[in-house]
Amino acid sequence: MTVVSVRVPPAPARRSVPGRIRVISGVTAGCLVLLFAALAAGGLTVRDGLQVIGRDAGPQVVATAGLYLALSDMDAVVADVLVMGDAYERERDKATARYEQRRSEANQALLKAFELSGDNEAERRTVQSVLDGLGAYERLAGQALLLNERSPHPPGPPPEAVVRLYRQATDLMRLMLLPQAYNLTLENGTIVRRTYDDKATTVPLLRGTVVLAGLLAVGCLVWLQVYLARRFRRVFGPALLIATLAVAASTVVGAAALGQNEQALREAKSAGFDSVLALARARAISNSMQGDQSRYLLDKERADTYEHTYLDKSLSLLYVEAGNLETYHAKVADNSGGFRGLLGPELVGAKGAQVEEAYQRFQAADTTFRTLAADGRVGEAVAARLDPVSAAFGAYDRSLVALADEHESVFDRAIDRGESTLGGLWLLLPFAAGVIGLLVVTGVWPRLKEYR
Amino acid sequence: MKRALSAVAALVAMVAVVAGCGTGGPESIVDKDTLVIAVRSDLPYVGFRKPDGSFEGFDVDVARYVAGKLGKDFSLVPVLAADREKVLVDGRADMVVATYTISQDRKATVLFAGPYHISYQDILTRRDDPIGNVRELAGRKICEVRGANAAQRVVEERKVAAEVVPFADYQACLAGLKNRQVDAVTTNDVILAGLAMQDGSGLRLSNARFNEQRSGIGLPRGDVPGCEAVNRAITDMYQDGTAAKLLHTWFDASGLDLSTIAVPQFEGCS
């Protein structure tokens, strides 16, 4: 090519040299624009992912799970008080205090959930509906408690009128309010999964584009320098040389930053969020199980149903093949490891082993409790429910929280790391683009000027 | 310049194609144009095939609503209780809306969206029979429809020593009840209510409501996006009042307790 341009007459050659410089510079500029556009797009994509997963849906899972727990525990506490009868004065005071505390927690969680729901209409409607229902629940529960106080009875099932009132309250809670809170938690799991899947395909694509555009830009810059060196017999154009190095560095740093962000998102999702969500759901289901224990004592007519839902929930947490509660108890007590169900995959590590042990102890306490109730020793069954069973449940619940905390800190660390990497990228991007642009112009402009 | 740009474009497109191919896995119902939905054909008011070959019932309307929300055309195919898992596994149906009770062992092969309705296990008897709760089934003959687990639950879970007599479907079961081959039919209350309404001879629903039965929408295992989309459709169905309307349309006359109609707690798609 050079040979050809040397042979052509001087005038056209003089026009074709700046023309050629312009073409090569134009292609270089195009590659640079593509490089920085891809980096910016990658940064924006990652920012959106970190925002949705780390700051919206992630915290919303915690808020809505907190709402479920507070609500579910309110209903369990009411059932506890109703089966205490005219004994357990101290426990009743404690239960009342606990009810108040849970109610305030529920209110806080509702506020938080509403705030985090942003412009998601369906979520807002759900929060609103829970708020409305909670008022109605408190009225019914209050009536049941009042009537119970006025009709003294020994520990065990309260009089029929009290049971009927409580049934209305608990139906409202279990069939209308709790499902909505639980589904909100799940919906946020959906949002995180969709966002993650979306980012997990887009970010590598953009990262590939960055590498490709970077390589092309470096190639173009080298081409430009070789051309200029030959045309103008200069070995070095310092500006273009630095620009080439800067483009190479930006490509490497940018692609690495996007790669780290991809990794951060993956870790936040797989090692953090998925477990946090599973454990939040497990805690919610577990809490309603311990409520089912009190309800089983309280409502004879529905005792079978409450025992069934207890078994159903147990099976969904840790699955063993069991057609009835007795078999389930026995198999959970024997079995060690290899469970299916919601908790199954979470039972790894030291904290996971603690959860498994605590769960086994809780189910063992339930075994004793059911035996007492089935033998008609109602007073003893109430005592078992209020002390050993509750204590075992408390220990189990705390072990779940400890395990969830572990995953939550993994989640938080990954999100923080992603955000700080992204912050670095945002700092670098305009600076690098500006400097490189300037260097290219500095390298090319004087050469073009020679033809003016 | 143009050549260089088109080369860049071609390379970018290649990267896109390679990355796009990476997301494998089974095809989600979300990506299909038309859905094959399996419904029951033997349950009046729930999933029933009329003599002209068309289907009607609560489940059928739920299927129609969900398909509409997903923006899909659909065709209905009949499925019996025993085949619900099979049609999903071998791909004959994309979705099963057939009073399919969610259970942990079924979850090993099927993914459940929903539940879209919570019903209870109940007992249907002849008018003169005083059976009032599950314990009074002890020593009595109860019908079991192949593929349904309701009768087994009475014996195994509630430990009531009833004698289980197998039948092919609920029509045969009902005939057996009326000619005293069995004393009771026990399954989801909606199924019993539908059978009693169609029969019209005054069979009695005991309202014992002893087990909670969560009816889910069966999907091929692994179709998490599909499951999540169906759950959103179910939420909409309750929030826009369609669920209440459908339940009242089909079961107002049945004596079923419809006082609480609310979106059920979902099973979760993972």
- Closest partner residue to B1 (CB to CB) among A23, A209, A315 is A23
Could you give the CA distance from residue A69 to residue A64 in angstroms, rounded to a whole number? 9
CB contact under 8 A, A201 and B20: yes
| Residue in B with minimal Cα distance to A307 | B211
Question: So what's the pLDDT on residue A336?
Answer: 63
Residue type, A284: A
Dmax over CA atoms of chain B, in Å, equals 93
Q: Which two tokens stand for residue B191?
A: 């199924």
What domains lie within chain B, and their CATH numbers?
Answer: 29-118+214-254 (3.40.190.10), 121-211 (3.40.190.10)
A80 CB contacts (<8 Å, ≥6 apart)?
A91, A95, A294, A385, A386
| Phi, psi of A255, rounded to the nearest 5 degrees | -65, -40
- Closest partner residue to B12 (CB to CB) among A23, A212, A281 is A212
| Residue in A with minimal Cα distance to B1 | A27
Question: So what's the pLDDT on residue B260?
Answer: 84
Is B17 an 8 Å CB contact of chain A?
no
CB contact under 8 A, B266 and A179: yes
Q: What is the dihedral of CA A85, A89, A91, A93, to 10 degrees?
A: 110
Alpha helix ranges (H) inside A117-237: 121-150, 160-171, 178-232
Chain A residues near residue B103 by CB distance under 8 angstroms? 315
In DSSP terms, B122 is beta-bridged to B187
With a cut of 60, say whether residue A365 has pLDDT above it: yes
Is B31 an 8 Å CB contact of chain A?
no
Closest CA to B97 of B41, B148, B146: B41
Question: So what's the pLDDT on residue A7?
Answer: 46
With a cut of 70, say whether residue A385 has pLDDT above it: yes
pLDDT tens digit sequence for B131-175: 888 888 889 999 988 877 788 888 888 888 989 999 888 888 999
Measured between CA atoms, how close is B51 to chain A, in angstroms? 37
Residue type, B82: A
CB A320 within 8 A of CB A334: no
Q: pLDDT below 50 — which residues of chain B?
A: 1-2, 17-24
CB contact under 8 A, B1 and A321: no
Question: So what's the pLDDT on residue B209?
Answer: 82
pLDDT tens digit sequence for A63-81: 888 899 999 999 999 999 9
CB B257 within 8 A of CB B207: yes
Question: So what's the pLDDT on residue A122?
Answer: 80
With a cut of 50, say whether residue A126 has pLDDT above it: yes
In DSSP terms, A306 is beta-bridged to none
Closest CA to B8 of A243, A34, A223: A34
Could you give the CA distance from residue A156 to residue A85 in angstroms, rounded to a whole number? 7
| Residue in B with minimal Cα distance to A327 | B157
Measured between CA atoms, how close is A152 to chain B, in angstroms? 29
Q: Give the count of Cβ contacts less than 8 A between chain A and B.
A: 118
Measured between CA atoms, how close is A308 to chain B, in angstroms? 6
**For A233-249, what is the HEC assignment?**
CCCCCHHHHHHHHHHHH
CB contact under 8 A, A183 and B263: yes
Residue predicted with more confidence, A248 or A121: A248
Q: Is the ipTM of this complex over 0.95?
A: no
Chain A residues near residue B266 by CB distance under 8 angstroms? 179, 182-183, 186
CB contact under 8 A, B235 and A304: no
C-alpha pair distances (Å), B141 with each of A248, A363, B137, B159: 82, 34, 8, 15
Is B231 an 8 Å CB contact of chain A?
yes
Chain A residues near residue B23 by CB distance under 8 angstroms? 197, 201
| Residue in B with minimal Cα distance to A198 | B23
Alpha helix ranges (H) inside A234-377: 238-267, 274-298, 303-317, 325-334, 349-374
Which of A75, A120, A212, A312 has the most B C-beta neighbours within 10 Å, making it the best mutation to test the interface with B? Answer: A312
Question: So what's the pLDDT on residue A291?
Answer: 93
Could you give the CA distance from residue B210 to residue A311 in angstroms, rounded to a whole number? 13
CB contact under 8 A, A323 and B156: yes
CB A293 within 8 A of CB A374: no
C-alpha pair distances (Å), B123 with each of A84, B159, B193, B256: 33, 16, 10, 12
Could you give the CA distance from residue B148 to residue B195 in angstroms, rounded to a whole number? 16
Is B265 an 8 Å CB contact of chain A?
yes
Residue predicted with more confidence, B175 or A444: B175
| Phi, psi of B96, rounded to the nearest 5 degrees | -120, 115
- Tally the C-alpha atoms within 13 A of residue A339's C-alpha that lie toward its C-beta: 31
Chain A residues near residue B210 by CB distance under 8 angstroms? 304-305, 308
Say what angle helices B242-251 and B58-70 make with each other, to 10 degrees: 160
Closest CA to A76 of A306, A341, A280: A306
Could you give the CA distance from residue A299 to residue A301 in angstroms, rounded to a whole number? 6
Question: So what's the pLDDT on residue A452?
Answer: 65
Separation of CA A131 from chain center: 24
Chain A residues near residue B157 by CB distance under 8 angstroms? 308, 311, 323-325
| Phi, psi of B43, rounded to the nearest 5 degrees | -120, 100
Measured between CA atoms, how close is A87 to chain B, in angstroms? 31
CB contact under 8 A, B19 and A30: no
User: Tokens 């809306």 correspond to what residue?
Assistant: B97
Is B19 an 8 Å CB contact of chain A?
yes
Which of A23, A24, A34, A186 has the most B C-beta neighbours within 10 Å, making it the best mutation to test the interface with B? Answer: A186
pLDDT tens digit sequence for A337-353: 677 889 988 988 899 98
- Closest partner residue to B16 (CB to CB) among A176, A180, A205 is A205
| Phi, psi of B54, rounded to the nearest 5 degrees | -85, 165
User: Tokens 């959930």 correspond to what residue?
Assistant: A113
| Phi, psi of A322, rounded to the nearest 5 degrees | -150, 125
Q: Is the dihedral of CA A442, A447, B1, B7 positive or negative?
A: negative
With a cut of 80, say whether residue A375 has pLDDT above it: yes
Is B23 an 8 Å CB contact of chain A?
yes
With a cut of 50, say whether residue A9 has pLDDT above it: no
pLDDT tens digit sequence for A220-271: 999 888 888 888 777 678 888 899 999 999 999 999 999 999 999 999 999 8
pLDDT tens digit sequence for A271-313: 899 999 999 999 999 999 999 999 999 998 888 889 999 999 9
Could you give the CA distance from residue A421 to residue A261 in angstroms, rounded to a whole number? 7
3-state secondary structure of B112: strand
CB A335 within 8 A of CB A320: yes
C-alpha pair distances (Å), B159 with each of A296, B106, B151, B155: 17, 22, 11, 5
With a cut of 60, say whether residue A15 has pLDDT above it: no
Instruction: Please name the helix (run of DSSP H) or strand (run of DSSP E) that holds residue B233, with its range, or none.
Output: helix B224-239
3-state secondary structure of A159: coil
Question: So what's the pLDDT on residue A201?
Answer: 92
Say what angle helices A121-150 and A160-171 make with each other, to 10 degrees: 170
| Phi, psi of A314, rounded to the nearest 5 degrees | -60, -45
Is B116 an 8 Å CB contact of chain A?
no
For range A444-450, the mean pLDDT: 81
Could you give the CA distance from residue B92 to residue B97 in angstroms, rounded to a whole number? 14
